[in-house]
Amino acid sequence: MLVEMRLPPTTPALREPDHRPYFLWWTEATVADLRAHLDSEDPEERAYWLGALLREANSRDVWLFTDVDRIREDWPHLLRHLGRSRAMWAWLLDMDGTWPPRVAGAR
C-alpha cells in the first residue's frame, strides 16, 4: 500500500483567502486573488501567475494552488515565466525546458 505524504505548508495562513502570500512579494495580491488568476480563461494570465508561483514559492507550497496536470497543460505559455527555475521544473516534470522554444524548420 502506497501512502502519499506531504509536508505542511510553510504557513497555515496560505489557506486563508485574505492572506498575502510571501511569494507574491511585488504585489498586493491575496490568496483569493491568486486563485482567481490561476482559474482565468486567459492562458497568458494563468501562465504569468502560475509562473510566479513556481518561480517564487517554496515547492511545498506550490501544491496548495496547482497540480502536475495543470502545469503540464499550461507549459507552452508558462515556460517563459519560470526564469532560473525553468530547468528544475522541466526536469521534475520531464518536460522540454528549452527557451526560447525551437522554431520548426530552424537550424
Does this model's pTM top 0.85? My answer is yes
In this prediction, residue 106 carries a pLDDT of 59
Residues 65, 30, 52, 6, Cα dihedral to 10°: -30
User: Which residues of the chain fall below pLDDT 50?
Assistant: none
In this prediction, residue 5 carries a pLDDT of 74
In this prediction, residue 74 carries a pLDDT of 96
